[in-house]
Amino acid sequence: MPELPEVETSRRGIEPHLAGNVIQYVEVRNSRLRWPVSEQIMKLSDQPVLSVQRRAKYLLLELVDGWIIVHLGMSGSLRVLLHESPPAKHDHIDLVMADGKILRYTDPRRFGAWLWSDDLEKCSVLAHLGPEPLSDVFNGSYLYTLSRNKKTAIKPWLMDNKVVVGVGNIYANEALYVAHILPERPAYSLTQEEVYLLADTIKQILRRSIEQGGTTLKDFLQSDGKPGYFAQELFVYGKKGELCPMCGEKIESIKLGQRSTFFCRQCQH
Ligand SMILES: [Zn+2]
């Protein structure tokens, strides 16, 4: 599933080809995504793209009269084609640009979304989202204040979009490991020092992933290439039974809030 670093990598990959360019028309081959593709998007013609932004895991294409909001769902991806090329089975949407380039959306599982909004302030999918993890608002002090009295285990609590956006299962596992914190601990039980370290660790891990993603940006221009997701360097996620890189003990796995949770009992407390 695309997580925040992949979405940010996608944004950086498509932005140079879209911002300042003009959407000539939109070709929707299959509108049955998680929700039906908005009518307004299907009817767009000769619309300049003012900017390509991101909020949480949503890509936001700013047009003159409103916004196209794209969510990649479980398996969605975007790439830029330099010329017309025949769509494959799961290529559901093309934005055909005035300079001949095409932004192509591929989504085998069709859990993604293409929605229109006249006004982002009133957009229901973006309402109630917590701060961006890489913003200054998200820091140790914010997280510490918010975590007092919270009895929820720290890992599912961190993955709650109202607390902070974009910390998905992979990054919650990795950040708690690097910060030496057991995922099952109630949020309130973390010391101030632990919470500050955790906030910094989340930022570091996300930044490093986005940097790694940057090396795959060329893929956005390969018509036959794979989407711009990248192999991530992971310490514990998906590594049940493998040896902990810090101490050599076996990595354990449990379900926590129905999500696979990986940790080292020796290194995390
Ligand atoms: Zn260990």
Q: Is residue 16 annotated as a catalytic residue, yes or no?
A: no
pTM over 0.85: yes
What is the arithmetic mean of pLDDT over 165-180?
Answer: 95
pLDDT at 219 over 70: no
Residues 167, 95 share a domain: no
- pLDDT at residue 212, as a whole number: 80
| Identified catalytic residue from 5, 6, 54, 57 | 57
Tell me the CA distances in angstroms from 267 to 83, 183, 200, 224, one per residue in order. 52, 12, 18, 43
Q: Please, which pLDDT band fits residue 201 given cuts at 50, 70 and 90?
A: very high
Residues 172, 101 share a domain: no
| Identified catalytic residue from 2, 5, 156, 183 | 2
pLDDT at 230 over 70: no
Tell me the CA distances in angstroms from 219 to 23, 78, 170, one per residue in order. 22, 10, 23
What is the arithmetic mean of pLDDT over 232-239?
Answer: 87
Q: Please, which pLDDT band fits residue 227 given cuts at 50, 70 and 90?
A: very low
Q: Is residue 255 annotated as a catalytic residue, yes or no?
A: no
90 is in an annotated binding site: yes
Residues 206, 241 share a domain: yes
Residues 148, 53 share a domain: no
**Last residue within a domain, chosen from 117, 149, 167:** 117
Q: Is residue 259 annotated as a catalytic residue, yes or no?
A: yes
Domain housing 244: 140-264
Lowest mean pLDDT among 97-111, 228-242, 249-263: 228-242
Q: Is residue 203 annotated as a catalytic residue, yes or no?
A: no
Beta bridge partners of 115: 69
In 3D, which of 48, 31, 1, 67 has the Cα closest to residue 259?
Answer: 1
- Rounded to 5 degrees, φ, ψ at 263 are -160, 170
Ligand 1 mean position, distance from CA 2 (Å) = 27
218 is in an annotated binding site: no
pLDDT at 84 over 90: no
Q: What are 62's two structure tokens?
A: 């700013």
- pLDDT at residue 220, as a whole number: 55
Ligand 1 mean position, distance from CA 237 (Å) = 13
Residues 160, 76 share a domain: no
Residues 76, 14 share a domain: yes
Strand order in the sheet with 91-97: 45-48, 22-28, 91-97, 102-106, 77-81
Judged by phi (left if over 0) then psi (alpha if -120 to 50, else beta), residue 12 lies in: alpha
pLDDT at 10 over 80: yes
- pLDDT at residue 226, as a whole number: 47
